[in-house]
């Protein structure tokens, strides 16, 4: 490993130690830098340095989109904090209207800035900005959502991609002879398969609360915390082995964290589909005849060159959590009920009581209480 690589690895472990809120700020900084790199390419390719107001409008749209996403995130994950503070409660109530008004202001400014001899170029750059926002900003906020579900959902996918990239290159360099795709000829089928098996090892953090607990706001300590009773996903369970493996190993069962099974899905995606984010970025750079997105990191190009696969991976993880992991959250339901008016709470109470009586659950609960 050279000095920049050692520095990046050391920095990665250091920010993990600092906790999820610092990681969120790091993700925001990475997002802004990636946006800057792609927008700068658009400026240079289309020679749009003299377009009226366009550089200002690009950054204004970035601000608007971040305001929208961060507002949604804070309201969703830290509802207690929002309801406690009057200014935050007002901003939360009218958040989407404020976000739309901010975007509409930028849209009107763009229309007013149109110049007859630059119509086509201005619309090129308008589209370039919005596609960049879709690719970079939207997916970076999915990373933050994953992070708030528990740091393990942030660290393991990133580690899968990094490990896959390293092992794929090593296997391809020493053993590979079959190009996987012409856009990146050094990545071969053999390296691809080697990376697949290497990334399965990224499950070791499932036994630590610091990594598996979601980020929550504690009213008593008036601070954000990462502490909880781990869910069943992070508790050791016995699994029966298939008869073939039982005859080979002599074991009838094996103790695993359920998350380890999910980590196989994550590592499989990182090995099979994740690299196509890099191939997409390679095709993009070749289309505009550039080697790297920028020269921010010596010998490694820009920040976007390091995160091309990570954004695609983050989207998959977010969809995976929503589809297979996350269920109804009783805490959030109660928080929302407490924010209602007294008559609304009473109506919901009576409806719930009638439902429980109909199901035959309420008498059983009353007998148990007696």
**SS3 category, 314:** helix
CA distances from 313 to 118, 163, 267, 305 (A): 38, 13, 10, 15
- The per-residue pLDDT for 191 is 45
Residue 59 lies in a domain: no
**Do 283 and 135 share a structural domain?**
yes
Residue 47 lies in a domain: yes
> What is the span of the domain harbouring residue 346?
329-369
**Do 288 and 334 share a structural domain?**
no
**Do 239 and 348 share a structural domain?**
no
**Do 141 and 25 share a structural domain?**
yes
**Do 365 and 291 share a structural domain?**
no
**Do 342 and 319 share a structural domain?**
no
**Do 220 and 346 share a structural domain?**
no
Q: Read off the pTM.
A: 0.83
The average pLDDT across 342-370 equals 78
Question: Could you read off the pLDDT of 303-331 as tens digits, one per residue?
Answer: 888 888 889 999 999 999 999 988 766 76
Confidence band for 194, pLDDT divided at 50, 70 and 90: very low
Residue 94 lies in a domain: no
Q: Based on the structure, what is the number of domains in the chain?
A: 2
Confidence band for 190, pLDDT divided at 50, 70 and 90: very low
**Do 268 and 351 share a structural domain?**
no
* 180 vs 189: CA distance, rounded Å: 5
Q: Which of 158, 303, 286, 149 is nearest to 230 (CA)?
A: 149
Residue 155 lies in a domain: yes
Pairing of strands 223-225, 216-218: antiparallel
Question: Could you read off the pLDDT of 266-308 as tens digits, one per residue?
Answer: 888 888 888 888 889 889 888 888 888 988 877 778 888 888 8
**Do 201 and 257 share a structural domain?**
yes
DSSP H or E stretch at residue 240: strand 237-240
- The H helix count followed by the E strand count for the chain is 18, 4
Residue 232 lies in a domain: yes
**Do 130 and 141 share a structural domain?**
yes
* 262 vs 324: CA distance, rounded Å: 9
Residue 101 lies in a domain: no
Residue 65 lies in a domain: no
**Do 346 and 322 share a structural domain?**
no
* 172 vs 180: CA distance, rounded Å: 10
Confidence band for 353, pLDDT divided at 50, 70 and 90: confident
**Do 232 and 334 share a structural domain?**
no
Residue 350 lies in a domain: yes
Radius of gyration of the chain (CA): 25
């Amino acid at each position: 490993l050279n000095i920049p690589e050692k520095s990046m690895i050391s920095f990665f472990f250091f920010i993990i130690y600092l906790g999820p809120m610092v990681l969120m700020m790091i993700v925001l900084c990475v997002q802004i830098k990636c946006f800057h790199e792609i927008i700068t390419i658009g400026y240079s390719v289309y020679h749009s340095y003299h377009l009226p107001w366009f550089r200002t409008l690009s950054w204004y749209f970035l601000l608007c989109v971040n305001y929208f996403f961060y507002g949604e995130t804070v309201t969703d994950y830290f509802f207690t904090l929002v309801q406690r503070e009057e200014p935050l409660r007002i901003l939360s109530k009218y958040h989407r209207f404020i976000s739309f008004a901010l975007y509409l202001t930028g849209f009107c400014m763009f229309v007013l800035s149109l110049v007859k001899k630059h119509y086509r170029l201005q619309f090129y750059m308008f589209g370039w900005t919005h596609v960049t926002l879709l690719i970079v900003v939207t997916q970076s906020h999915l990373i933050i959502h994953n992070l708030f579900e528990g740091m393990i959902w942030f660290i393991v996918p990133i580690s899968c991609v990094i490990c896959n990239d390293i092992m794929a290159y090593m296997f391809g360099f020493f053993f590979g002879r079959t190009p996987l795709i012409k856009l990146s000829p050094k990545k071969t089928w053999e390296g691809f398969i080697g990376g697949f098996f290497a990334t399965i090892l990224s499950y070791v953090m499932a036994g630590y609360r610091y990594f598996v607990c979601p980020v929550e706001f504690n009213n008593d300590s008036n601070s954000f915390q990462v502490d909880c009773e781990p869910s069943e996903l992070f508790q050791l369970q016995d699994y029966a082995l298939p008869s073939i493996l039982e005859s080979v190993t002599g074991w009838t069962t094996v103790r695993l964290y359920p998350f380890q099974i999910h980590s196989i899905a994550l590592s499989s995606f990182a090995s099979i589909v994740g690299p196509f984010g890099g191939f997409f970025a390679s095709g993009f750079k070749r289309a505009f005849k550039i080697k790297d997105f920028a020269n921010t990191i010596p010998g490694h190009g820009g920040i976007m060159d390091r995160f091309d696969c990570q954004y695609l991976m983050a989207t998959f993880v977010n969809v995976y959590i929503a589809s297979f992991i996350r269920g109804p959250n009783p805490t959030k339901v109660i928080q929302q009920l407490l924010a209602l008016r007294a008559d609304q709470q009473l109506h919901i109470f009576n409806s719930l009581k009638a439902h429980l009586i109909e199901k035959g659950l309420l008498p059983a609960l009353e007998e148990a209480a007696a």
